[in-house]
Structure formats: C-alpha cells, structure tokens
Chain A
C-alpha cells in the first residue's frame, strides 16, 4: 500500500473543479439548513414534543426562514470592539469550516459532462493532515472573536472554548494515528480504498470510540458544551455578534459538525463503500458510480443523528470535569491505543520475526517487545495507583487564604486542589486550617466556611449583653444572627 492517493484527477479541467466547488458549497449550506431542522425535530421527539412544524411541510422551511431573518437584522458593531478583528473573526471561522470538504471523497469515479473524474475535489498524500490543520486554524476565529468583542465575558467564553477544543484535538489526533498506521497513508481516497475488507471502525474499535468522544468535545456539543451553555456566559464568544456575523459563527459550528462526521465516515466507516452484503449484490453494482454518494450521505447522517441523540440524552459536564476527562483519561487511552496497534501491526506484517536493533548488543524478538511494552504499561499503571495523591504538596494552610488567593489572576499553583482532589475520601486526620481562626475576608471578598471550619464570634454579639438594651437588642441580635 503506497501513501499516494488512488483517486485519479488527471482528467480534471478548471471548469470541473469550479463545478465541484460550487456543488460542495451548495451541499454544505443545504445540509446545514437541513441539520438545524433535523436537530430541532429530533430533539423535540426526544422531549416528547413535535418541534417546528409551521413553516412549510413538516417545518422544513423553518431554518430557511431563520436564515433570512438573520440576514435582515441590523449589523451592530459594539463600541468597545477592535473593528478589524471583530469583522475578520467570523470570516476566519466560516472559511476554515468550508475548506475541509475539499478533500472528502463522496464516491468513486463517475463521468461528469463526459469527463471521468472521482467524486472528490482533490486529494494529496497528506489530505487528513490538511484537514487537521484547517480545523486548528478555525479555532483562531473563536478566540479572536471573543477577544475582539471588547468585554470580559466573551473573552472568557472564547478562552474556555479554545482550551476545550485543543484538549480534545489531541485525543482526536491520537485516534487518527492508528488509522494512518493501518492504512499506510494520510490520503482520504487511499484510506477509503484500504477499507475494502473491513471498516476501520471494527478493526480499530478503541480508536473509533476515542474519536467519537473527542469529536463531540471538539465541536463544543453536549455533553461538552459548557462554554456555550446559556446560563454560564450568555452566548460565550459570540455574545456581541449580530446578523450575518453571528450567522457565520452559527454556520461554522454546524459545518464543523458535518466536517467531523465526514472525517469519521471516511476514516472509520468506509467512506462511500456500500455496507457488507449489499456490495456483493450483482457483482458490486451498488458499489460503483453515483451509488457511493448514497452510502456516504447515509453514514454521514447516521453520525449526525448520533450527535443529536447524545445531545438529547446526556447531561452536561462541568468544565473542570471534562477537562480532567480529556487530559487524564482520553490522552493516556490514546497513547495506549497507538502503542498497542503499532505493536500489533508490527506483529502482523513484520517481515522478520527477529530483528537486531543496535548490532551486537541488542537483538529483539517481536514477542519480547510486546511483552516489554505491556509490562511497562502495567508497571506504570501500578505505580500511579500505588503512590498517594499530591495533597501533601501544597502548604497546609490551604483552606481560607488560598481560596481567596485563587481569585487573583495567576496565583501560581494555587492550593485549592487540596480539597477538590479526592472529595469523597477527605482524610479527617489532616489539619484543615484550624490552626488560625477562620478569616472570611482573607482574600478580599467574603467566602463561606468549609466543613470543619467555624466562623469567629460576630462582633455584634457584644451589643446583646447590655441589659438596658436587652429588649431592644434582641430583635437586633436576632437580625444579627440572621445576617451572620
């Protein structure tokens, strides 16, 4: 299996290319309109209501109506915005979102206007790397949009979004490395071509699961959509945008969903290949020509339905929960997957069972290597489980003052982990900042006492003891008690 693409573009003229580009753009726009309708209807069904059903048959024209409405709205530029970047950010987002579909194969070779051409705009030996790069560029749109809005909440929302996207991008890339290992190429048509016998979703099931989880995290969808949740930061990075600029952000998000679904289809679900059994009917009639588009779209919308299903079913993760999940679960899982599949591939296709590495000193057999790698992983896992957590690292007087200190920007390794690391197994023997009296205002703003801490007696208690003021003081004392 060579790394070069198997799709042959030698017959393409510039007109064919332009036709394909226009078709892809139209397809994407229509798909987004359809996806919005699809999501609203399906989520409504999950919630036992009917969704939009007023504009057009089955509510199909609802999203078109919404898009037209957005076009006709006033284009506001907020006063505090950085004008140039404020304008460019949504353009970057939507531009990068459109560009991914240029290398996605919709089908095998067909004849368009008499020219035999594959149903794909272009392909090169590093197509998936191009996709990953363009997706990473799209993150610029988010962070610049939030920063250029000139107010703190969009900036915070943008930064949180970005941090989440890049964390899950790592897990996604690791899952994709397994696919590159087994298909021997990064070209999309070659990867589809290598899935003749089995789809990679079955051979590389852990990688597929990893990819599906990280693709939900990458697109800021539930259960990972805290940066966009309504109650948290209003709209996140697109709070200050209106009309078409907002529409472009919205469009970019949905096209990103389509992008990752298309990548999942191409890399894991066999792309435009017909499912098993159907491909055998009539000497593979259903696996040629325009039929590929049918299978591709079916798989794409299957994954989109999965997105909507997950949105309708799962609860939202808290931000620190899903960052922990991304870094501490997905990335080690990804690394283990890559190592495992690399060794497996070496075992299955390695030419020599015994290869010398380093001349006289080191001669390794594949079996020994597998043993060594698995043994090493087991040792690491045992070490990590055996050694206690880092609670004793931070200074013992963590409780009050450090929580106040955490509010300050850049307080280094602020010590609030001493409480949150293992909330269930809070050791009662550890000193819990009971050495000095709890000072609620230590950090500059009032914080409530943690369990085990007590407030010092209120200074207003002194007023209660004067007998002359006792009848008048008791309502005052009562009020003081309430306010304490």
Chain B
C-alpha cells in the first residue's frame, strides 16, 4: 500500500454506496400517496409565494460575508505551510509572515471601521 490515498478512495466508495443506497432504499420502501399540499413549498400553512418572484435571491450581505471569508481563508492557507516549515525558515520566515499578516490586518481593520463586518 504505497499510495496513502487509496484508502481514501476505498472509504469514498463505501460512503457513496451507503449514501446513495439509503436514498434509493427509502424511495423504494416508502409509501407513495400523492397529495397536492405535500409537494407544495411549506410556509407555515399559508399559501406559498411563487418561487418566480424570489428566483433564488437572498440579501447581498451574505455574499459580502463570503467574499470577506475568501480573503482571510487564503491568508490562513498561506500560514499552513509556513507553520509546518517554521524551524527551517527561522527568522526570515517569521518576519516575512509577520509582514504578510500585517498587510492582511490593515484591510481587516479598514473593513471593521467601515462597517463591513457589522450585523452580518
């Protein structure tokens, strides 16, 4: 077993089998009694608003959260290899990474002050 990812493949195959099998099992085993209100969207009992009006829209502030997350996630991703190779990179690596963190923290501070992180 030279390749360490083969067990991952095995696990993936088994997990996929189980996931699909379960859904298939309930589709086969479960009863099928059609009723119009069962297939309508649930809106606490009232008539649901047609989806065409909403069309998959949601407030834009969630999109802003995702954008901000991407930036800081990339920063964290850059920190992983630095953390693992820390002793080898020694002082140069530490100062370079501190500089990088500072350059990321400045826009974080700007975003905080300007309300980009508010009531997200």
Chains A and B share a contact (CB less than 8 Å): yes
How far is it, in angstroms, between the C-alpha of A166 and the C-alpha of B76 when the chains are bound? 13
In contact, A155 and B76 (Cβ under 8 angstroms):
no
In contact, B117 and A342 (Cβ under 8 angstroms):
no
How far is it, in angstroms, between the C-alpha of A349 and the C-alpha of B90 when the chains are bound? 9
| A150 CB contacts on chain B under 8 angstroms | 41, 51
Shortest distance between the CB of B55 and any CB in chain A (Å): 10
| A123 CB contacts on chain B under 8 angstroms | 4
| B40 CB contacts on chain A under 8 angstroms | 78-80
In contact, A129 and B117 (Cβ under 8 angstroms):
no
Knowing A167-B120, A174-B76, A245-B23, say if A121 contacts B84 (CB, 8 Å). no
In contact, B119 and A417 (Cβ under 8 angstroms):
yes
Shortest distance between the CB of A349 and any CB in chain B (Å): 6
Q: Is B59 in contact with chain A by the CB < 8 A criterion? A: yes
- Number of A interface residues, CB 8 Å? 108
How far is it, in angstroms, between the C-alpha of A72 and the C-alpha of B25 when the chains are bound? 9
Shortest distance between the CB of A67 and any CB in chain B (Å): 10
Shortest distance between the CB of A404 and any CB in chain B (Å): 15
In contact, A184 and B94 (Cβ under 8 angstroms):
no
In contact, B114 and A177 (Cβ under 8 angstroms):
no
Which of B1, B84, B90 makes the CB contact (< 8 A) with A350?
B90
| B6, B8, B56, most chain A CB atoms within 10 A | B8
| B79 CB contacts on chain A under 8 angstroms | 174, 177, 338
Knowing A77-B39, A240-B41, A342-B86, say if A98 contacts B15 (CB, 8 Å). yes
For B39, the closest partner residue in chain A by CB is A79
| A17 CB contacts on chain B under 8 angstroms | 1, 6-7, 10
How far is it, in angstroms, between the C-alpha of A364 and the C-alpha of B99 when the chains are bound? 15
Q: Is A431 in contact with chain B by the CB < 8 A criterion? A: no
In contact, B11 and A121 (Cβ under 8 angstroms):
yes
Shortest distance between the CB of A64 and any CB in chain B (Å): 15
Task: Provide 26 A-B residue pairs closer than 8 Å at the C-beta atoms, listed in order of the A residue.
Answer: A14-B10, A17-B6, A17-B10, A22-B14, A74-B32, A74-B33, A76-B39, A80-B41, A95-B15, A99-B15, A102-B8, A122-B8, A150-B51, A163-B65, A167-B65, A173-B73, A186-B84, A244-B22, A323-B65, A327-B112, A328-B112, A351-B90, A364-B91, A376-B102, A393-B114, A420-B119
Taking Cβ atoms with an 8 Å cutoff, the residues of A that contact B are 3, 9-14, 17-18, 20-22, 24-25, 70-80, 87, 90-91, 94-95, 98-99, 102, 121-124, 129-130, 147, 149-153, 155-156, 159-160, 162-163, 166-167, 169-170, 173-174, 177-178, 180-181, 184-186, 234, 239-240, 243-245, 247-248, 320, 323-324, 327-328, 331, 335, 338-339, 342-343, 345-346, 349-352, 355, 357, 364, 366, 369, 373, 376, 380, 384, 387, 390, 393, 409-410, 413, 416-417, 420-421
